[in-house]
Chain A
Amino acid sequence: GDSVTQMEGPVTLSEEAFLTINCTYTATGYPSLFWYVQYPGEGLQLLLKATKADDKGSNKGFEATYRKETTSFHLEKGSVQVSDSAVYFCALSGPVGGATNKLIFGTGTLLAVQP
């Protein structure tokens, strides 16, 4: 079945460091890919998404490119801030026109940014 694998955390960085959180997926067809962020004590918020190969999703300085050839959707940010400390989830859902938009999540990666 479809699945998402993301790097285990925690990832600890200093402020202004470069961030990469790896995410790879296994899916039949052509899924859509998402990054969700969960700040402490809160629910999940959509950070960015990409719906087809070579699409780049971006938001709040974060970027991820849908790479079909490597089945990857790695999250990157050039300069992290303390306020970026959160848990980041990679997820996929069924393709456009599919029967459902159920999300399949990775296990989450905790990012801790130190001043």
Chain B
Amino acid sequence: NAGVTQTPKFQVLKTGQSMTLQCAQDMNHEYMSWYRQDPGMGLRLIHYSVGAGITDQGEVPNGYNVSRSTTEDFPLRLLSAAPSQTSVYFCASSLSQGASGNTIYFGEGSWLTVV
């Protein structure tokens, strides 16, 4: 059971380039989300999805796109990378939305540097 898998683990981009961070889970979870982690700011929610075909914005959505065509995959796209998007990105999933009994599982993170 792989859990939540993120790729790539490390990436360096030039300003203006686009790229996609991949996230896949094999637990049949409905709820998936993307966070970014910055020093002194904890984790902040970028986008989330409550099921295939449904996405919504989190706290810091600007500069990012998501889609959820399947239950398993939730890619995060950087449209035109900026140095301010240098961060560590975490994908997370849980069985369903709501109900505090759902444990949220995190991927191992993707370290992105924009130069």
A-side residues, CB < 8 A to B, are 4, 31-32, 36, 42-46, 49, 51, 89, 93-103, 105-108
Contact = CB atoms under 8 A, between A and B. Distances in A.
A96 to B, nearest CB: 5
B70 to A, nearest CB: 21
Chain A at the B interface: SS class: loop
Contact of B90 (A4, A31, A44, A100): A44
Contact of A107 (B41, B97, B99, B103): B41
Nearest to B44: A105
A88 B43 CA distance: 12
B33 to A, nearest CB: 7
B48 A89 contact: no
B108 A94 contact: no
Given A49-B100, A97-B99, A102 B42 contact: no
Interface string B77-115: 000000000000010101011111111111111000000
A104 B37 CA distance: 12
A41 to B, nearest CB: 8
Interface residues of B, number: 30
Given A102-B45, A105-B43, A108-B42, A94 B107 contact: no
A43 B106 contact: yes
B31 interface: yes
Contact of B33 (A44, A89, A102): A102
Interface in B11-62: 31, 33, 35, 40-45, 48, 50, 58
Given A101-B94, A101-B100, 5 more contacts: A32-B100, A101-B102, A103-B104, A105-B43, A107-B40
Given A46-B103, A108-B42, A99 B90 contact: no
B106 A100 contact: no
Contact of B97 (A32, A36, A99, A106): A99
